[in-house]
Amino acid sequence: MMIENILARLEPIIRDLFDEYDGPITGKLSAKDVEQWDSLANVQLIVMAEKAFGVRFTAGEVDGLKNLGDLAACVCAKIS
Amino acid sequence: MVFQTCMSWREPLSSDWRVKAAEILALFRAGANQSEIDAAGDRLRRLSAMRLEDGERLILRRIAKATRSLNSPPSNFRAFRILLVSNRSLGFFGGDLEVAGLARGLLIDVVETEFGAVSSLAFDPAISPPDGPFDAVFLLQDEGAFHSRLELLDAKAEQIAVDEFIAKLEHTIGALSCKVGAPVIVATIASSADTQISSSDTAVAGSKRRITDAVNSKIAEFAAAGALIPFDLANISARIGAMSFFDPVRFHQAKVPFSLHASPVVADGLAALIAALTGRSGRVLVLDLDNTLWGGVVADDGLHGIRLGQGSAEGEAFLAIQEFAQDLRRRGIVLAVCSKNTEAIAREVFDEHPDMLLRNEEITVFVANFDDKASNLVRIAETLDLGLSSLVFIDDNPAERERVRSSLPFVMVPELGDDPAEFVRTIVASGYFEHLPLNTDDVRRASTYEARTAAKSLLETAKDYSEYLHSLEMVLTIAPFDMVGRARISQLVQKSNQFNLTTKRYTIAELEAIEKDPSRLSWQIRLEDRFADHGMIGVVIVEAIDDAWLIDTWIMSCRVLQRGVENVVMDVLKYQAATSGASALRGAFYPTSRNGLVKDFYDQMGFSLTNRESSGASFYEFDLHGSMINREDYPMAVDVKFNIS
């Protein structure tokens, strides 16, 4: 699956989590762009992504995620 | 069946869930009149009680928040403010708890203390909790709250560690209930999947598993003594499975004590306990018959054609359901039957089938006819004098369940799946029958309801009401508060809504202070009749100071309405006040959404209205000069357990 497809499937999750954010969903999107994206929401985003794609991130991978693109790339590596 | 975390007793998510939720959110944010808000509240409760995914739960968190911000929230929701205290982070859990509350008609407002604030709250007198008032405190600690690693096989060191932890726990509970002024709910400690290294850990002194077990049995002991309300987190972990319950990545990442998948299940369990604490648990198990209590249709298959009893897996599964119903009955749950059947044919199974466990006399209300089940449920609730929200309806037929759910939104209707072998665990997991540590009144309750139903049929044959009351051979006992009665007194004070003049919710500690205060008179009232011991059915607290005594609290159980009990108690009170030298008795009525039943109480008791505020609060007085009591007229014997002046 392409990164773009993964981002598209992450979009409804982002919209549910951050209902006050209505900007574009790109790989560059990160916590500093979204006010509601605090540490709790970050954990929740990871868990929702795990569920949506049926994958599990390691503790090391979780530490390395800096933006949505990283998350999508990590998913991509696991499912392809 | 994969139980895990799907909450299988809930109805599936409807396809228009998000549309309906958005409508409710918009309505609450824009504001609306009370009847619109109440109707939206009913819709919200049903939506919240479906099998939610993460996205729906996020939406419900926002709706819960908007609901709490309303000037006047839906009247069918009960507000409940809770303080979470933990050595771990309960940020997620708090949101899940607010969402879980909605499904049980609770508007829970969660306040979380700072991560790890347990010790400072408990031991530092300068640290005060967040601004109250709170209805309860929830204390959750995990194995990390224990002392650091002990030497193994050092039984003495283990004992010291356990004693220290228990002393700290006891102190924490005491300090929390004192600083916050609310009952403390304490979670048992779930044994982690990572710390029990060997099968023999329970036999190795100093292992975490042994300390966990010792702490949990102490929590149970405190609970039995009424010092705390237990929440069995260890059992929830076991039900889900420790491997899914604990999530090491999330723990290392954010110090959450259990996985985010387990969190909504734990939250639902705690919401069920809060429902029990606020009198919202099921009190009646209403059972369908064909394919619910036995396999097959008795009217078609005949008495000996139905599948029940030893020898077949299916027959034994139905026996297990009957055994479960009997277990509930021993906890004070009333059993009722609601079946589309000819009554004689249905009853014959109870009387004649050799494998039938449940007996006719264990079923308090037996309704078998071909009327609509929703109207039969209304009839059952009326016969028992209980609200529809006390009923849990068990029926294998999805159409009947749906019909009841949509016409009687307050009846609890678990989904059951296709296999009767799974029914019992599904009903248990639903938490609809959650309860606090039982007292003797609770375990007697089912037989009390049977007695009341018997008394009702007596009423139908008695010539007039007064003859009927006399024929009940009632004995009323009025006694001062004491330690034995305290748990039940507190239950009445915390939970009674209808026959409650002032709705003052005193804590156990406050009740103890009232008991010891010589300027206050505090009575517990019990009633027995020829059919049953009804246990404690009333609480009266009076400020017996100065010339005019003030009735601070007057609560009666609706189980004994129309028995003339309140008239007798009031006469005794008038007599006691008059002979103590008081010249007047005063009373107040503070209206709530639930106590309309007693708005004219003081008028009926011969008091005169002295003032009525715009809020509806009304104040009354009774002039004691020349009042007298005349016991001969009472339809009951009166046993007064204090020195009457």
List, as one string, the DSSP characters of B37-98: HHHHHHHHHHHHTB---HHHHHHHHHHHHHHHHSSS--TTSEEEEEEEEESS--HHHHHHHH
Q: Within 13 Å, how many C-alpha atoms sit on residue B615's CB side?
A: 9
- Residue B630 and residue B580 share a domain: yes
Instruction: Say what the pLDDT of residue B245 is.
Output: 95
- Residue B166 and residue B55 share a domain: no
Burial of B162 (0-12, 13-18, 19+ CB in 10 A): buried
Residues of A in contact with B249 (CB under 8 A): 56-59, 62
Residues of A in contact with B54 (CB under 8 A): 16, 44, 47-48, 51
| Closest B-chain CA to A45 | B54
Tell me which residue of B526, B525, B506 sits closest to B514, measured CA to CA: B506
Domain tally for chain B?
4
Q: How far is CA B448 from the centre of its chain?
A: 18
Cβ count near B484 (within 10 Å): 12
B55 vs A: CB within 8 A: yes
Question: pLDDT tens for residues B558-570?
Answer: 777 778 899 899 9
**% residues pLDDT > 90 (chain B):** 62
With 50 as the cut, is the pLDDT of residue B45 above it?
yes
Task: Answer whether residue B296 is part of any domain.
Answer: yes
Tell me the C-alpha distance between B505 and A43, whole Å. Answer: 39
Mean pLDDT across B33-48 = 94
Residues near B221 by Cβ (< 8 Å), separated by ≥ 6?
Answer: none
Minimum mean pLDDT range among B108-117, B186-195, B328-337, B354-363: B108-117
**A-interface mutation test, from B25, B54, B56, B251, most A Cβ less than 10 A away:** B54
Task: Answer whether residue B5 is part of any domain.
Answer: no
- Residue B241 and residue B104 share a domain: yes
With 60 as the cut, is the pLDDT of residue B553 above it?
yes
Inter-chain touch B91–A47, beta carbons under 8 Å: no
Residue B610: CATH number of its domain: 3.40.630.30
Question: pLDDT tens for residues B598-630?
Answer: 999 999 888 999 999 988 899 999 998 866 555
Which domain covers residue B610, as residue numbers?
Answer: 465-640
Residue B247: CATH number of its domain: 3.40.50.1110
Residue B356: CATH number of its domain: 3.40.50.1000
Instruction: Say what the pLDDT of residue B355 is.
Output: 93
Instruction: Say what the pLDDT of residue B93 is.
Output: 96
Mean pLDDT across B476-491 = 88
Inter-chain touch B253–A43, beta carbons under 8 Å: yes
Q: How confident is the model at residue B443 (pLDDT cuts 50, 70, 90)?
A: low
**A-interface mutation test, from B115, B249, B261, most A Cβ less than 10 A away:** B249
Q: What is the pTM of this model?
A: 0.76
With 70 as the cut, is the pLDDT of residue B322 above it?
yes
Tell me the C-alpha distance between B170 and B154, whole Å. Answer: 24
Question: Which CATH number, 1.10.1200.10, 3.40.50.300, 2.70.210.12, 3.90.1150.10, labels domain A3-79?
Answer: 1.10.1200.10
The helix (run of H) or strand (run of E) holding residue B540 is strand B533-543
Q: How confident is the model at residue B168 (pLDDT cuts 50, 70, 90)?
A: confident
Measured CA to CA in angstroms, residue A37 lies from A16, A17, B50, B111, B538 at distances of: 12, 8, 27, 21, 53
Instruction: Say what the pLDDT of residue B473 is.
Output: 85
Tell me the C-alpha distance between B163 and B336, whole Å. Answer: 47
Mean pLDDT across B221-239 = 92
Tell me the C-alpha distance between B513 and B375, whole Å. Answer: 47
With 60 as the cut, is the pLDDT of residue B454 above it?
yes
Q: How confident is the model at residue B469 (pLDDT cuts 50, 70, 90)?
A: confident
Q: Domain boundary at B213, B243, B277, which? A: B277
Q: At what angle do helices A3-17 and A68-79 cross, to 10 degrees?
A: 130
What's the Rg (C-alpha) of chain A?
11
Q: How confident is the model at residue B68 (pLDDT cuts 50, 70, 90)?
A: very high
Tell me the C-alpha distance between A24 and A17, whole Å. Answer: 14
Q: How confident is the model at residue B2 (pLDDT cuts 50, 70, 90)?
A: very low
Task: Answer whether residue B503 is part of any domain.
Answer: yes
Minimum mean pLDDT range among B380-389, B485-494, B539-548: B485-494
Instruction: Say what the pLDDT of residue B124 is.
Output: 79
- Residue B601 and residue B513 share a domain: yes
Q: Domain boundary at B248, B277, B306, which? A: B277
Q: What tokens appear for B255 in the block?
A: 């110090």
- Residue B270 and residue B139 share a domain: yes
Q: What are phi and psi of B394, to 5 degrees?
A: -115, 115
Between residues A80 and B302, the one the model is more confident about: B302
- Residue B475 and residue B542 share a domain: yes
- Residue B518 and residue B473 share a domain: yes
Residues of A in contact with B58 (CB under 8 A): 16-17, 19
Minimum mean pLDDT range among A68-72, B218-222, B457-461, B634-638: B457-461
B178 vs A: CB within 8 A: no
Q: Which residues of A touch B (CB under 8 A)?
A: 12-13, 16-17, 19, 39-40, 43-44, 47-48, 51, 56-59, 62
Inter-chain touch B254–A58, beta carbons under 8 Å: no
Tell me which residue of B399, B309, B414, B413 sits closest to B355, measured CA to CA: B309
Tell me which residue of B404, B417, B392, B424 sits closest to B293, measured CA to CA: B424
Q: How confident is the model at residue B271 (pLDDT cuts 50, 70, 90)?
A: very high
Task: Answer whether residue B2 is part of any domain.
Answer: no
Residues of A in contact with B92 (CB under 8 A): 40, 43-44
- Residue B296 and residue B260 share a domain: no
Instruction: Say what the pLDDT of residue B601 is.
Output: 92
Task: Answer whether residue B493 is part of any domain.
Answer: yes
- Residue B94 and residue B38 share a domain: no
Task: Answer whether residue B440 is part of any domain.
Answer: no
Mean pLDDT across B383-406 = 93
Query: In angstroms, what separates the C-alpha of B54 from chain A's closest C-alpha?
Result: 7
Q: Is B146 in a helix, a strand, or coil?
A: coil
Minimum mean pLDDT range among B89-98, B245-254, B623-632: B623-632
The domain segmentation of chain A, as residue ranges, is 3-79
- Residue B506 and residue B386 share a domain: no
Q: Share the mean pLDDT of chain B.
A: 89
Inter-chain touch B58–A17, beta carbons under 8 Å: yes
Instruction: Say what the pLDDT of residue B486 is.
Output: 84
Inter-chain touch B92–A43, beta carbons under 8 Å: yes
Query: In angstroms, what separates the C-alpha of A56 from chain B's closest C-alpha?
Result: 10
Task: Answer whether residue B340 is part of any domain.
Answer: yes
Highest mean predicted confidence (pLDDT) among A6-20, B477-491, B602-616: A6-20
Instruction: Say what the pLDDT of residue B293 is.
Output: 97
**B-interface mutation test, from A20, A44, A51, most B Cβ less than 10 A away:** A44
- Residue B411 and residue B542 share a domain: no
Between residues B456 and B509, the one the model is more confident about: B509
Residue B6 DSSP code: S
With 90 as the cut, is the pLDDT of residue B596 above it?
no
Q: Domain boundary at B262, B277, B292, which? A: B277
Inter-chain touch A47–B250, beta carbons under 8 Å: yes
Task: Answer whether residue B515 is part of any domain.
Answer: yes
Inter-chain touch A43–B59, beta carbons under 8 Å: no
- Residue B224 and residue B254 share a domain: yes
End-to-end Cα, chain B, rounded Å: 67
